[in-house]
Amino acid sequence: MAKNKRDIDLKVKQDELESTASRLFLSLGYDGTSMNRIARELGVAPNTLYWYYASKDELLVGVLNRQMSQTLVRLPTIVDKPLKEKMAWALREFEQSRELVATVHARLEQSEVIREWHDQFHRFVEAAVIHTLQADGVARERAAMLATVGTFLVEGLLAHPHSESQREAILQWFTESALPA
Amino acid sequence: MAKNKRDIDLKVKQDELESTASRLFLSLGYDGTSMNRIARELGVAPNTLYWYYASKDELLVGVLNRQMSQTLVRLPTIVDKPLKEKMAWALREFEQSRELVATVHARLEQSEVIREWHDQFHRFVEAAVIHTLQADGVARERAAMLATVGTFLVEGLLAHPHSESQREAILQWFTESALPA
DNA sequence: ACCTGAACACCGTTCAAGT
DNA sequence: ACCTGAACACCGTTCAAGT
């Protein structure tokens, strides 16, 4: 990828578009941000965006990948911390994207490209969590089930407002119920 | 309420609107169902709907309440079954509404009336689950935390496709980790 | 009280045309 | 290859007018 000047320029331009789209999606929400608005912010005609992305959903996927790659940069900082810390970190990472997480789930049925991104994202996260649990001595099959549960808890906490002590209690209970004594 | 003929007629008409809207929302999704389409199905002008509901979101709330009251009718059939059965029942009840559940979460920030309905719904469900857990000998504070966890697991299972054995394993693990031995 | 026709301000997207 | 002006088919919603 990015073999020549052309591809590099393309990436640079896409990065610019996604940076602006990201900021607007996060502050106004996906539905609250029109393609028109994004284009205006960038100083281009609205249909220019369609030269880079086939649809608004594809632009969202670009934005999601952008966020993910930023999160991946910070991943090494918690890779050898205990499970509970890892979950708390994931919550903090995705907290600003709360609304986008909900948008992704709402658009699953309607958008193939969103569905693909979502499925791939879950496969990645579950594999990582399974790996962690196995390192802590949890059997393979059980680790897979617990990874799903852990994911649901993080998503639930993201979707619903809660106090710091609620979060703490849930993570504490989950990790001590999940891990061997 | 419904003190006189007028109010009764209003309820009847609203029930007719919500029945049609419900069917369309469930088959085409909320975003996939235009007010125009609902009106056409009913044989009225699109703006007629606005005499009964201030907005599309308020119509959705009507539909949600309709679904809820149908579910409440069936609630007594599982009221004395064990927790695991209760959760499996709730999953079956809400399974057809998967998409509406996601829509509610996605519209939380944008619609006050949806937010109110959502918060009230969660308060109701959590109170019911806490009551069940306390009857099973779980302490009050712990029951509140576990009720939240149980809700997140049901929502997670609703939002994400999964096999029957996955569901079974998750419910089994949760109920046996939550309840005193 | 209940419903309509016509319009409003927008939306995502397409297309032919420009450079 | 990249971008635009103009349009398309729709959207939720409003309003003045009818009965």
For residue A169, pLDDT over 60 is answered with yes
Please name the residues in contact with A55: beta carbons below 8 A apart, sequence gap of 6 or more: A111, A113
* B157 to chain A: closest CA residue: A152
Categorize the per-residue pLDDT at A4 as very low, low, confident or very high, splitting at 50, 70 and 90.
low
Computed on alpha carbons and rounded to an integer, the radius of gyration of chain A in Å comes to 19
Which residues of chain A make contact with B173, given a CB cutoff of 8 A? 145-146, 149
Residue A172 C-alpha from the chain's centroid: 23
Å between CA of A132 and C1' of D12: 48
**CB burial of residue A3 (10 Å; 0-12, 13-18, 19+):** exposed
**What pLDDT, in 10s, does the model give residues B33-62?**
999 999 999 999 999 999 999 999 999 999
**What pLDDT, in 10s, does the model give residues B65-114?**
999 999 999 999 999 999 999 999 999 999 999 989 999 999 998 999 99
Q: Which pLDDT score is estimated for B120?
A: 98
B173 touches chain A (CB under 8 A): yes
Q: List, as ranges, residues 15-74 from B with C-beta within 8 Å of A.
A: 29, 31-32
Residue type, B159: A
- List protein-proximal bases of chain C (any atom < 7 A from a CB): 1-7, 10-16
Q: Which pLDDT score is estimated for B97?
A: 93
Helix axes B56-74, B112-135, angle to 10 degrees: 20
Distances (CA, A) of B8 to B34, B61, B62: 27, 19, 16
Domains and CATH numbers, chain B: 1-52 (1.10.10.60), 55-178 (1.10.357.10)
Q: Which pLDDT score is estimated for B7?
A: 73
User: Could you tell me the end-to-end alpha-carbon distance of chain B, in angstroms, rounded to an integer?
Assistant: 47
**What pLDDT, in 10s, does the model give residues A131-147?**
999 999 999 999 999 99
Q: Would you call B148 and A159 a contact, using CB atoms and an 8 Å cutoff?
A: no
CA distance A46 to A30: 16
* Average pLDDT over all residues of chain B: 94
Residue numbers in A 30-59, CB below 7 Å of strand C: 33-37, 46-47, 50, 54-57
CA distance B122 to A1: 47
